[in-house]
Structure 1
């Protein structure tokens, strides 16, 4: 058996691979995120990760170049998040540090292995002068409506600091539990918040000048997502049952109920104005922003529900309780934002008139009062992260294609207006026309489910090609027919492109449990630890790929990260006859349950048996194909011990195994040099095993 040492680094470039560009050149593509638009001005802010150097950029008007506002010039593993602009457009605030994609609350990380501890810190920038201020330790900032102060979370409690840093930050108040979800009322004299206290949570209000917190209709529930009415006299929030009571079945699907509540500040008890239908579709939406509760205009409260089988927007009148569905159709709604007057909603959705649009995103605008949706974008591109700007006269968003990466784009909301790309100078000199346009394909799983995928076919292949199944993580994700707006999949898209340039056929599979194809697809029967039915789609993809005329059926590999790593390990353990090699990146491998003999669900033993059957570690006896196992040991999403368990089992069985261990990094490869190691090792391994090079 061969092993990669933690510090091993593979060189890459034209000398190693005979293709038209080097992996290093493609990976130099900057990843842009955090697009934020000023509501009154035409100012755009966004972050750019340029080979690990993460900085804040500003575009101050049409046709203006992107201007770098910060000078963080090392690959230091410190991400930039929570970018926002003050209501008056004078200040910006952002957070530096932590891993905000982790499953647990963000904590300081040290992916670069510095000898001193790292922090999560708040910064402000004066957008006129460019002056940068370090405001101290903190996270999740929000501007006061007056723009001069910022409230934020530090050690699970709310703090406040002047935007210009003229005074040191100080606690705003302190309560039991962990504070989250803060929102100022319109005049800035009261702050609503949630305090989580284990199995339950309360809504509280801090009133300026008062010595006590006002609690809003406390109950034996989990109350969260407090939203002020536009006049500041009422609050809407979401109420869910607190956890507790006798344990129910672990295998049976169950409805999770929730309600929209409304209360005046002087009311003793909140009123339930809407309760979700008692159906599986009506359960708590497993979706970006969850309930997406908002109160944009006085007579409309907006929320998102999956109740008709797709995640759509609804409004409810706070007095009459009449409900109206704003968006309808077989598509998803996400990236939701509001005009400054609250009258319009911009969102992106996977629908349109171009073939394959269910694997893209386009932007729609709908009146909060209801009515026809205006589809602002269309075609074979992908548009995400919309927001209104320039006094609601324009929308700003990220756009990309199969070839061109994400760039800020502005579209005036007037007839015949054309989108204006911004920041093109950031892309450098790489020739993106060399990239392949993936083709949408579909096939049927044995149980009749239609599965969509994107195929990357090598250009000018003269014989049957080796092939690779790519499995995304999540599992609540969807890969597109172009660059992705999430950083993890932005770089996986690069990897798929590069593998195709080497001569591989790559099939990126949107398996069941993923998003984009409706409730039943996202919530299938017998999935995850209850039977791993999603693996049926991965196996079907491998069999479908083996039948394609340009594919060598004896040279099919598989790779993926996180949930994709889990399914990669399942494929190698259960079907080494089809999958001849694989790269398993920080996957879950052992889902066996531990028995609590004092109290456990009535079907615990059966659930434990099925969970073990759904674990890759269970299937090592049939594992024959070579594997590369990759994991970082500060992973806050999948425990490092999951790969320890699998590696030890594979060693015992004599399975040819290589590994790459990354000390101190997380699930999201915060250090760019570590990301390069992972991608290079993965590509090299697949090439060696399937091309015999």
Structure 2
């Protein structure tokens, strides 16, 4: 009897121990309970044998830049620490932003975010050998401060003008004079280039430090967008240039400044003004600049070689696509000066190609019904390329090496999931960052043959915490639509999932062109909210519709000229498929999304109103007429050319079809997807006499964060789901 009681007690204690802790929204958005660790400041050094990272001394709690051996992963010394970074009584942050010869470091202090990729700061140059700290400029905060390759100068932007600071004489030189807010920008991009071509710094030192190539944006004729800022007694208007579809873009020109002759040449990019220059890049020859020239429809891309002495250009490569061309940073000029490598969708999938310097294709290096997702670099001594791809699965990422001739391909990552790599300068070692839907980042050091040298971060603590809270990641599924299209999806189920029960489902959608949500990787706070909802008895599901990326051009670009139509059909089909599963309540299916996902959820609750009981749209586009020119015209062309493509899938035009519960959320200071979208959708719903709820977040941008904002937002959405689904 005593033995039986003891067994029962043991079983009870075991059961209690296995009961997951309750996730709170405070755990996710305030306490950092589920944070994972990484290797901070990771950077390979020029010797190819060592790398740096930012570490914290456990005794003094001071941060320092550690030099680590690739051979064993052990720290061999500190290059410098926080104690070296006091300037006029102020402690500067630790940085690993070395110049080319690794003798100096650029440090940004008191940073102020501007848009998604831009910020201004007080910059400093730290000389490692002498410990001298030089203030880049005492005349106001700067943008994009960059040390020249020879380490003698710093270029930066302030008040839309480009400057150079000589670190030896400490003389500050203003090399452009016409910079003016909302008129002329030198050395930086306008809003739409920063957002849609993914770069903000728009000047580049030549390899020999003798020239700077820079962009000039003339925004004079671009329409102004105004946002009301509600902070002072009388609200103010923030105004900036934002080109919407079919409206005038900035006129872009490219210039070359000779630092020795103090002269500027204008690069000949043709007479057409209504075009894009999505990239410029120096070749191995310091006298030749490569300029990417793209038409406004974004279906023709030309590579121009510009003579740095004269500004004269010649076209060396032209690529055209019947849909549009995606821009990336994979273009690599080989050190031999005779060849270059770039990626292209020429055969329907994104692959690597080798060209000679005249623009003649030598060969296609990789082939197959899979995509190159990143080119890490080229070891020219061994004629080996290193890249990331989807060859194993569109849901996964693996690292490969292949000869430039396309032979002897070998896989360097062996754990299924998402793998990313940082290679040593000579490619003799690499640091592998692996995660999966069920496992956080696992960071390891390997030699060139793939042999494990050392585990740098195992995130065992994060794994233990995830287990304690019953966070078990997502389960993947596939289904075939009525159109015969196979779609990928995932589910997050309750930890005590019972297949005999009927569960409500909240679908999560983004769905925009080239995007991906259904991926075998460890996700952040948003997916932790899904685990929180699972503890409340919900299943969270996600489907990647047609138009999403990494499955080839035909799958991604089939939404061309008709954004929203096929994507919405696929989400509705996903909901119908879920409704047929024995463990799902078909009458309790909701959907939510953010940005493009907010657009999708708005379409689903209107066009798919009989399917969804609930929808939440956060910061949604509600008509593409309100969004920016580069993104929207890439997929729809202009409203003047394709009015139906803009209007037949605008939620505003289907407000009268709304059924079910709807929550509309937006930040009033959203510079990206303007508050105007939700305002005008609200008006359409009101005029259709449709009940709905809405929440606005004062002065918050597209991310809707800061202070308690994220916590408040997710509390709001959680309550809406619990009450209505």
TM-score between both structures, scaled by the size of structure 2: 0.74
How much does 1:498 deviate? 2.6
| 1:334-363 alpha-carbon deviations (Å, 9 max, x no partner) | 3433358796543322222xxxx3112222
658, 662, 676: which one aligns with 1:623: 658
Q: Check whether the contact 2:123–2:135 (CA below 8 A) recurs between aligned residues.
A: yes
The residue aligned with 2:318 is 275
The residue aligned with 2:417 is 381
Mark the CA change 1:169 to 1:474 in structure 2 (over 3 Å): closer, same or farther: farther
Most deviating of 533-542 and 471-480: 471-480
Matched residue of 2:394: which SS?
helix
| 1:24-80 alpha-carbon deviations (Å, 9 max, x no partner) | 3344144769965133263345899xxxxxx99856422559999789xxxxxxxx9
Q: Check whether the contact 1:38–1:390 (CA below 8 A) recurs between aligned residues.
A: yes
The residue aligned with 1:187 is 208
Q: Check whether the contact 2:269–2:313 (CA below 8 A) recurs between aligned residues.
A: no
Q: Check whether the contact 2:64–2:94 (CA below 8 A) recurs between aligned residues.
A: no
488, 509, 513: which one aligns with 2:547: 513
Q: Check whether the contact 2:599–2:621 (CA below 8 A) recurs between aligned residues.
A: yes
How much does 1:279 deviate? 3.5
CA distance in 2, matches of 1:666, 1:498: 25
Q: What is the count of residue pairs matched by the alignment?
A: 614
Matched residue of 1:359: which SS?
coil
Most deviating of 428-437 and 212-221: 428-437
Q: Check whether the contact 2:152–2:166 (CA below 8 A) recurs between aligned residues.
A: yes
455, 475, 482: which one aligns with 1:420: 455
* TM alignment of 1:337-486, pairs within 5 A: 337-338=376-377, 344-352=384-392, 357-367=393-403, 370-384=406-420, 386-389=421-424, 391-406=426-441, 409-417=444-452, 420-422=455-457, 424=459, 430-431=465-466, 434-462=470-498, 463-472=501-510, 474-483=512-521
The residue aligned with 1:327 is 366
81, 98, 101: which one aligns with 2:113: 98
Q: Check whether the contact 2:41–2:95 (CA below 8 A) recurs between aligned residues.
A: no
Matched residue of 1:582: which SS?
strand
CA distance in 1, matches of 2:515, 2:540: 18
Q: Structure 1: 5+ residue runs without aligned partners? A: 1-16, 49-54, 72-79, 109-118, 244-253, 595-600
The residue aligned with 2:325 is 284
CA distance in 1, matches of 2:134, 2:693: 46
Q: Check whether the contact 1:585–1:631 (CA below 8 A) recurs between aligned residues.
A: yes
How much does 1:216 deviate? 3.3
CA distance in 2, matches of 1:670, 1:420: 34
35, 40, 44: which one aligns with 1:38: 44
Mark the CA change 1:320 to 1:508 in structure 2 (over 3 Å): closer, same or farther: closer
Mark the CA change 1:131 to 1:578 in structure 2 (over 3 Å): closer, same or farther: farther
| 1:207-252 alpha-carbon deviations (Å, 9 max, x no partner) | 22213212333422555633333242433322334x5xxxxxxxxx
| 1:615-673 alpha-carbon deviations (Å, 9 max, x no partner) | 11222222121122221111122101111122333345554433332112211234263
Aligned pair 1:88/2:101, yes or no?
A: yes
How much does 1:539 deviate? 0.8
The residue aligned with 2:556 is 522
How much does 1:311 deviate? 1.9
The residue aligned with 1:666 is 701
CA distance in 2, matches of 1:140, 1:34: 21
18, 22, 27: which one aligns with 1:25: 27
The residue aligned with 1:246 is none
* TM alignment of 1:72-221, pairs within 5 A: 84-93=97-106, 96-98=111-113, 100-101=115-116, 106=118, 120-122=121-123, 135=136, 137-161=141-165, 167=170, 170-174=173-177, 178-180=186-188, 181-197=202-218, 200-221=251-272
Q: Check whether the contact 2:605–2:612 (CA below 8 A) recurs between aligned residues.
A: yes
How much does 1:372 deviate? 3.5
The residue aligned with 1:313 is 352
CA distance in 1, matches of 2:471, 2:483: 35
Q: Check whether the contact 2:379–2:385 (CA below 8 A) recurs between aligned residues.
A: no
Matched residue of 2:375: which SS?
strand
Matched residue of 1:534: which SS?
helix
TM-score between both structures, scaled by the size of structure 1: 0.77
The residue aligned with 2:338 is 299
590, 603, 608: which one aligns with 1:570: 603
Q: Structure 2: 5+ residue runs without aligned partners? A: 1-18, 57-61, 84-92, 179-183, 189-201, 219-248, 628-635
The alignment yields a C-alpha RMSD, in angstroms, of 4.1
The residue aligned with 2:280 is 226
CA distance in 2, matches of 1:81, 1:633: 35
How much does 1:428 deviate? 9.7
Matched residue of 1:213: which SS?
strand
Most deviating of 203-212 and 548-557: 203-212
Q: Check whether the contact 1:535–1:570 (CA below 8 A) recurs between aligned residues.
A: yes
Most deviating of 195-204 and 675-684: 195-204
Mark the CA change 1:424 to 1:570 in structure 2 (over 3 Å): closer, same or farther: same
The residue aligned with 2:294 is 240
How much does 1:466 deviate? 0.8
Q: Check whether the contact 2:341–2:355 (CA below 8 A) recurs between aligned residues.
A: yes
Mark the CA change 1:262 to 1:415 in structure 2 (over 3 Å): closer, same or farther: same
| 1:101-154 alpha-carbon deviations (Å, 9 max, x no partner) | 37xxx4x6xxxxxxxxxx555466677999998755233343311235432333
Q: Check whether the contact 1:560–1:584 (CA below 8 A) recurs between aligned residues.
A: yes
How much does 1:571 deviate? 1.0
Larger RCO, structure (CA 8 Å, separation 6 or more)? 1
Mark the CA change 1:666 to 1:209 in structure 2 (over 3 Å): closer, same or farther: same
Q: Check whether the contact 2:50–2:67 (CA below 8 A) recurs between aligned residues.
A: yes
Q: Check whether the contact 1:36–1:85 (CA below 8 A) recurs between aligned residues.
A: no
CA distance in 2, matches of 1:396, 1:174: 45
CA distance in 1, matches of 2:583, 2:665: 30
| 1:515-537 alpha-carbon deviations (Å, 9 max, x no partner) | 111112221146555x6321111
CA distance in 1, matches of 2:641, 2:291: 38
| 1:299-335 alpha-carbon deviations (Å, 9 max, x no partner) | 2222221211122222211147233223322222234
CA distance in 2, matches of 1:280, 1:42: 46
Matched residue of 2:685: which SS?
helix
Mark the CA change 1:46 to 1:174 in structure 2 (over 3 Å): closer, same or farther: farther
